[in-house]
Structure 1
Amino acid sequence: MRAGCSVARVSYVRWSIAAQFLRLPAMMAPLAFALLATEVTGSYRLGGLMMAVFIGAEIVAAGPVGRALDRFGVARGLRVLLLVSALFLCGLALVASSPVLTVVFVVLTGFAAGGLSGGIRALLPKSVSAGFLERAVAIDAVVIEIVVVTGPLIVALLTPLGVVAPVLGMAGAYVLAVLFVPTVAVAPRTRGERPKLGSIMTWLLSSFGFGVLISTIEVSSLPFAQRLGGGAEFAVVFMAVLIAASMAGAGLYAWLGPRLQIDRRIRAALFLVVMAVGGVLAAFGVSWPLLIAGLVTVGICTGPLNTTISMHLQLTLPESRKAEGFSLVFTAQAGGFALGSLCVALLPVSVAPVVGSAVALIAAFSVISAHRGAPYRRVTSAVANQEA
């Protein structure tokens, strides 16, 4: 038994290393693209365009790429896509002097990377024991926050080596991820059925609502600071508070989550409602204590909500549609982030988070009122739906 636990722990560590290397380029991209654009054109605006088309390409490609991974093998397909993404980034570094070609290679990279997050998530159940799965998802939510902070720091460390060094660093991260993608057994291929639309749409809306709300809070960090008479340094403090609260919430849920008997629909709705309350507190936080309380309220529910959504889909998505389903969830979240950022750009600082809170409440109502489909299935094997 102890040997089995040790093997499972090593397998999870390997999966986690692959997942973090896979995610790292996305965290490096905003600053890396901005620096590259400034060097090429003298303005950061091209960097904003590069980031927009990168995310747009990921959103467009996520569903089809996830479907292809499910069909041809998730682990094998991930290795190919990671290498292709790395090659496109190397191409981007080579054509960095041409703004047009730069955008072209960014789009190609986005298409190749669109299904990576969903694919790596689909491999998690094959890398851990069944009883550890929910805790593993929650722990991963903590580690993600570390990657979020690490990405820009790596860009800053690589920049003195040359303006294309961060882009090559992103390519290197993809290559390193290839080395750690778990090797799983090949299972006979079966024709998968698409899940009922309603069974997915409510959870896509939940992920979208989360994205809108959290982005209106994150992107508003500088306006929040300025409203209280501070500057960029206070915005950094606000982000640190949000990240610390998120890590604490995810860590606590990793311990308590598997023991809870509450229906996951109720959990998700509760987390969304609490986050909405936090968004309103932050929106009208005209004092430090009120604003910090809002940030902590939002942050502490971030990890538990994502874990709850992830586990519900894990237990209800058809086995041959896992990568596609998770890719769609990450796409919905990215779309929410984009809309939230747009709200901050167009609306007053006190209104944007309220819009985010309203979307979160709509998502919570949708989850509660959704017609109850098939009952939850208990996963009895960590390798219940293996495929290469």
Structure 2
Amino acid sequence: MSNLASSVPQAMAPIAFGLATVGVSDRIDVGAAMMTTMVGAQVVAAVPIARFARRVEMSHGRLLRLLVLFRGLMLAGLMLAVLADAGIPLLLGMAALSGLTYGTVAGLLRAVVNGMVEARSLPRMLAILATLNELMFVAGPVLAATLGEVSIGTALGIMALAAALPAVLLPPISTSAHVEHAVSGRGLLPSAKPGFMLWLVAAGVGTAAIVGIEIGSVALAVSYDLPPARALVIVIPLCLASITGGLIISVRGRQPRIRSVVAMLTLTTAGLVLIALAPSLTVAIAGTVLVGLCVAPLATFYSLILDQLLPPSRRVEGFALLRTSQALGIVAVGALLTLTSPSIALGSAAGTILLVILWVAATYLPPQRPGSTDVITT
């Protein structure tokens, strides 16, 4: 429940920020700027805060509660700023502060799961969390739009309460941030096993592909002579397919093999190409279904493989870096969509995933050599 509550502000933010700033400044682009500022703050602060978390003499639970309370307070401050018709600089500043701790909170929550779930049950639990996350990102915009129509203060207040909720929901956690600290002072990347950077890049590119479809859905709908509101015919199949993929991996309850991961990356590439080059809406929807089916299984795999590649004392930092990679993917695809078109942005994502497939094949598919990683099977 803490993971789910932590996702609520991020899921509601795009719609809520847009509605809030239209009321304050009559400019829609201010809401987009607030979202960009929030994500940018996450990118900048995630790893430094996680490194600080690794060094302080404080339990994971206490530190996590402090960070989520800080995030909730900043969102509450943002709500008050909107209700007071504050200026745009203050709104941007509060948005940045509210995103400051998100990456570290996500890393801590993911690390805490390891201590609460048996190793054999971890794949199923992560698959369930990935599925619930997809459900939240379907429900979040609807909730923000519904509440925002009535009262934008209520929508922002719900975001603040949800952000702080993990401080109440978390059970006592005895694991300390400084436990298993017998690691050299090397940086995170040298401390991780081979393959860590590969899966970080794969996660970032995968997130870019999903967000590219979601953000570009309006332009895609218009390109098929549909009104902008009909963008839902592209987004809804994507979300339903992602939930279906999450249910499948949850039932299986096992870590996907490397060949299955390559197959899912290939399907994702094919889906993106279909959307980018689709001669009809039906073909584009088929592409979104292919991409959506792979979302939750791949997210589960990335979480599991990074868990295996990271030293125990660097897991919080590593999972925060995973969130940073995904945030960078969002920023990159947003820039491409702004400067070019959905077809070019999605085609670029497909090309990048193809390079990732080649990287995976070169790293894992040849016969195992002495000293090569043994964390996954083919």
Q: Fold match, TM over 0.5?
A: yes
Aligned equivalents of 1:185 and 1:85: distance in 2? 23
Q: Where does residue 181 of structure 1 map in the other structure?
A: 170
What is the aligned counterpart of 1:59 among 43, 60, 63? 43
1:96-144 per-residue CA deviation (whole Å, 9 max, x = no partner) reads 3222222222112221323111211111122222211101111111111
Aligned equivalents of 1:253 and 1:163: distance in 2? 37
1:173-218 per-residue CA deviation (whole Å, 9 max, x = no partner) reads 1222211123222454523353247532111111121122222222
Q: CA deviation at 1:273?
A: 1.8
SS in 1 for 2:39: helix
Aligned equivalents of 2:239 and 2:262: distance in 1? 22
Aligned equivalents of 2:287 and 2:149: distance in 1? 38
Q: Where does residue 362 of structure 1 map in the other structure?
A: 355
1:71 touches 1:320 (CA, 8 Å); kept in 2?
A: no
Does residue 30 (structure 1) correspond to residue 8 (structure 2)? The answer is no
Q: Where does residue 223 of structure 1 map in the other structure?
A: 219
Instruction: Give the TM-score taking structure 2 as reference length.
Output: 0.88
Q: Percent identity?
A: 29
Give 1:113-124 correspondences, 5 Å limit. Answer: 113-124=102-113
Q: Where does residue 80 of structure 1 map in the other structure?
A: 66
Aligned equivalents of 1:119 and 1:259: distance in 2? 21
Q: Where does residue 137 of structure 2 map in the other structure?
A: 148
Aligned equivalents of 1:256 and 1:329: distance in 2? 24
Q: CA deviation at 1:366?
A: 2.0
Aligned length: 359
Residue type of the partner of 2:66?
V
Q: CA deviation at 1:158?
A: 3.0
1:245 touches 1:300 (CA, 8 Å); kept in 2?
A: yes
1:268 touches 1:367 (CA, 8 Å); kept in 2?
A: no
Aligned equivalents of 1:353 and 1:118: distance in 2? 28
1:70 touches 1:322 (CA, 8 Å); kept in 2?
A: no
Does residue 50 (structure 1) correspond to residue 42 (structure 2)? The answer is no
Aligned equivalents of 2:353 and 2:61: distance in 1? 34
Does residue 92 (structure 1) correspond to residue 78 (structure 2)? The answer is yes
2:242 touches 2:293 (CA, 8 Å); kept in 1?
A: yes
Computed over aligned residues only, the root mean square deviation of the Cα atoms, in angstroms, reads: 2.2
Aligned equivalents of 1:255 and 1:112: distance in 2? 33
Return 161-170 or 233-242, whichever deviates more. Answer: 161-170
Aligned equivalents of 2:110 and 2:255: distance in 1? 22
Contiguous gaps of at least 5 residues in structure 1 = 1-16, 379-388
Does residue 303 (structure 1) correspond to residue 317 (structure 2)? The answer is no
Q: Where does residue 248 of structure 1 map in the other structure?
A: 244
Aligned equivalents of 2:114 and 2:21: distance in 1? 40
SS in 1 for 2:171: coil
Q: Where does residue 314 of structure 1 map in the other structure?
A: 307
1:44-86 per-residue CA deviation (whole Å, 9 max, x = no partner) reads 1211111111100001111112223333433221110110111
Q: CA deviation at 1:336?
A: 0.8
1:209 touches 1:336 (CA, 8 Å); kept in 2?
A: yes
Instruction: Give the TM-score taking structure 1 as reference length.
Output: 0.86
Residue type of the partner of 2:375?
Y
Q: Where does residue 232 of structure 2 map in the other structure?
A: 236
